Amino acid sequence: MTCSRTSFVSQPLGSPLFGGRGLVVALVTALLLMAQPVAAKPAPKTLDCETQPCAEVLPGAVSFKPVAGTSYQVGVDAAGKSLGWVGLSTDVVDIDAYSGKPLVTLFGIDGKAVFTGAKVIHHSEPILLVGIPESALQTFVSWYAGKSVSTRVVVGKSSKPGAISVDAISGATVTALAQNQTVLAAGRKLAMDVGVLAAAKGATGEFIKTDKVLSWQQMETAGVFGRLFVSEKQMGSTKPTAADDQFINLWFTVADAPQIGRSLLGDHEYNWLMGRKKADEHLLVIYGVGSSSFKGSGYVRGGIFDRVRVEQGLRQMIFKDHDHHRIGGHTEAKGAPEFKEGAVFFARGGKLHAGEPFDLVFMGSRYDGKGGYSREFHSFSATHRLPDSLYKRPEAAPVFETEEIYVQAWRNQGARVYVVLAILLGVMALFIGRRWLVADMKRLRIIHTSVMLASVLLLGVWLKAQPSVTQMMTFVDGAVHGFRWSLFLSEPLLFISWISIAIVTLIWGRGVFCGWTCPFGSATELLFKLGRLLRLPEFELPDAVHSRLRYLRYVILVVLIGTFIYSPELGERMAEVEPFKTSFLVAPWTRHWGFVAWWGTLVGLSLFWWRPFCRYVCPLGAGLAIPGSFRLSGPYRRNACDSCKICTKTCEPKAIDKQGKIDPRECLSCMECESNYQNEQVCPPLVGIDRLMRRSREKGEPPNADKLARLMKDREDRK
């Protein structure tokens, strides 16, 4: 087996297109461009109309005065007439967005409790920091001007009477949902505090408690459960409707009463939950089936659930990870069906009045065919009131209306999870059965190329499931500042990918991911193959330069981790050294030209240079190389490998040294050396033994014993 490439190792290192020095210059320039926007001021701690644009959210106001005993300021016009009030959201409410940090929003209301304006003055949302234009968020929040603070606003299309729908920000749905919650909750709190919005309090009743255990049929007959059903057709599906065509089908109730809680959960589970529950809290139980999920596949950063919420009047319940208790789809009630999933949520802080009607709201989404993150969102609700046999209530009392608004977050991944699992498990199966795979070099190359193509088109372009060093930095930051699983469950496709990466890296090294399933890495290798088909010249660094430059990616990794711990916002920006967002997540024409130029440089280089980003720059690859150094199963080697140079010459990542030893930190598991290992027409000791035995048979005499012993020794596996 011989190397067929044309090497231009003599290309000057200062070449504008090629060379280690040129790559470093391009990298430094890109990092400076990425860091430049970080000059933004830190998040304001309180409202200050002398330094903040209060006049923009309360038009006509020329001066502002603090309101005694509050964090608000009143705005007056030139004639001294009061126009309304201005507030800062973080002075009023504590609502986390996707980043786990609040969207600091300046807002104003007038004397009729109508928003006069709103403006985001600080945020830490990663997709907005280096992706979607900032103007998209400002346009979204400006929509609230002219709307009453008591307006019921739903992100996405809603069938709820009296609700007003606002479109989500494509690609930043969680941010839009959190922003909606922030503006409305803060506005209502301010309006009530200054006396332009009244809050009505509901009277309390009590549960009628018995020790009787009820069957599922008895509970349904008694009206214990509320029901919410959404069909595939209601979600916009064009497939034929069938009897079991359920997008989501939910049963829900308040389970504080022992005859309900014990019947559904069993004595042990019910007693444990009631022991954790405070006096003003209630247990909301939800069971569901259907093609969708009422919990979603994970929680957004900060632990916010993304699919269901509870509304009562203007009040909405916020369920976070610490409000949730997993119970699965099984119930203890006799005759109960098996459900796909179940959950108990703690409705905390006296927000739910169990004796009054309340709405369970489900938000579903479907891809709308417009590309990128664009999805169509629909909200559905069902009203439920506990039956008189379960709850004794006083005479009609109004429902307490408070400032708090609940917004759930993000989208359900549906069948996409299974696509990712199929690809990742398929690749793992190939490595488990790699003796069959490498038995034929042509078969190996066809399958390897096919997997890389699937990684680019399915994992990258379609599913946007490109792992990033940002997740690795978040893990390290969590170890330093407090670990939260909700951060890693925020995107189910990436969560699954990282579980796979952890497994394969420990067993076979980083090459399984980097060499086979990384969408960007696969794209650059396919570009290199395209360059060979087009007969473009090929460039490779001299060994002396390559051996030094390969450590650059470790330096970048250390700098990124340190920066992220110091400032997550700066770390997110600096992580744009990875061109992944420009490649798969965000439309290039919406990005800063520096990001596009960096991406174009790497793509262009990949036509001539085998994986330059992966080998010298990629911090994710560097992070995986460290645990991959201790892989349990590397390529098989023979004693003869220290003198044979066949695999060394043809190893693209230069992972094989002059002694025939494979460096697991550099190996990308192409398996071609293992194919050579089995090939009796390529591997020298196998070729030698075959020739010696064939000549022996032709001459009709025993083979040379010394030569055969030497060849057999060379054929032995290397220890």
Q: What is the DSSP string of 320-336?
A: BGGGEEE-TT---STTP
pLDDT reported for residue 13? 37
Q: What is the pLDDT of residue 400?
A: 29
| One domain for residues 24 and 149 | no
Report d(CA 43, CA 701) in Å as an integer: 88
- Copy the structure tokens of residue 678: 């089995």
Q: What is the mean pLDDT of residues 70-78?
A: 88
Kindly tell me if the per-residue pLDDT of 585 is higher than 90. no
pLDDT over threshold 60, residue 201: no
Model pLDDT, residue 161: 59
The answer to whether 259 touches 329, Cβ cutoff 8 Å, is no
> What pLDDT score was predicted for residue 455?
92
312 domain residue, yes or no? yes
Q: What does the pLDDT read at residue 18?
A: 44
Measured CA to CA, the distance from residue 378 to residue 228 in angstroms comes to: 14
Q: What is the pLDDT of residue 280?
A: 83
Q: Which domain does 574 fall in, by range?
A: 20-36+416-633
Which of 193, 221, 252 finishes a domain? Answer: 193
> Is 646 inside any structural domain?
no
pLDDT of residue 531: 92
Read off the pLDDT of residues 423-441 as tens digits, 9 standing for 90 and up.
999 999 999 988 899 888 8
For range 567-594, the mean pLDDT: 78
Angle (CA) 354-359-364 rounded to 5° is 140
pLDDT at 401: 35
CA distance 688 to 706: 13
Distance, in Å, from the CA atom of 694 to the CA atom of 686, rounded to the nearest integer, reads 12
Higher-scoring residue by pLDDT: 343, 413: 343
Q: Note whether 77 and 222 are same-domain residues.
A: no
222 shares its domain with 328: yes
Which band of pLDDT confidence, cut at 50, 70 and 90, is reported for residue 199? low
Helix (H, G, I), strand (E, B) or coil at 519: helix
**Residue 363 pLDDT > 90:** no
Q: Which two tokens stand for residue 700?
A: 């009709």
Q: What is the DSSP string of 659-717?
A: TS-B-TTT-----HHHHHHH-TTTSHHHHHHHHHHHHHHHHTSPPPHHHHHHHHHHHSB
Same domain, yes or no: 263 and 327: yes
Half-sphere exposure of 686 (CA within 13 A, CB side): 13
Per-residue model confidence (pLDDT) at position 238: 67
The residue out of 591, 611, 633 marking a domain boundary is: 633
- pLDDT-based confidence at residue 417 (cuts at 50, 70, 90): confident
Residue 234's pLDDT is what? 80
Query: Averaged over 407-413, what is the pLDDT?
Result: 41
pLDDT (mean) for 601-607: 92
Percent of the chain with pLDDT strictly greater than 70: 78
Both 460 and 607 in a single domain? Answer: yes
End position of a domain, from candidates 633, 663, 690 = 633
Residue 45 domain-assigned (yes or no): no
For 570-584, what is the mean pLDDT? 82
Asked if residue 337 has pLDDT above 70, the reply is: yes
| 444 and 387 together in one domain | no
Contacts of 404 (CB under 8 A, 6+ apart): 93, 185, 188, 189, 315, 316, 318, 351
pLDDT class of 176 with cuts at 50, 70, 90: confident
Same domain as 371, residue 423: no
- Evaluate whether residue 549 is within a structural domain: yes
What pLDDT shows up at residue 516? 93
Do 420 and 369 belong together in one domain? no
Residue range 90-96: mean pLDDT, rounded: 78
Cβ atoms of 296 and 411 closer than 8 Å: yes
- Do residues 118 and 169 share a domain? yes
Q: Which stretch of 312-321, 474-483, 487-496 has the lowest confidence by average pLDDT?
A: 474-483
543 and 459 housed in the same domain? yes
Q: pLDDT tens, 133-161?
A: 677 788 888 889 998 888 777 776 655 55
Same domain, 81 and 32: no
Do strands 153-155 and 164-166 pair parallel, antiparallel, or not at all (unpaired)? parallel
Quote the CA–CA distance of 501 and 394 in Å, as a whole number: 58
Q: Give the pLDDT of residue 481.
A: 55
Do the domain assignments include residue 663?
no
- Average pLDDT, whole number, for the chain? 79
Is residue 638 one of the residues assigned to a domain? no
Per-residue tokens: 103:
């969207």
pLDDT digits (tens, 9 = 90+) for 252-269: 999 999 999 999 999 999
| 64 within a domain of the structure (yes/no) | yes
Verify that 479 and 598 share a domain, yes or no.
yes
Task: Note the pLDDT tens digit of each residue in 652-677.
Answer: 888 888 778 888 999 998 888 888 88
Least confident of 35-44, 499-508, 637-646: 35-44
Please report the pLDDT score of residue 29 as a whole number: 56
- Structural domain count of the chain: 3
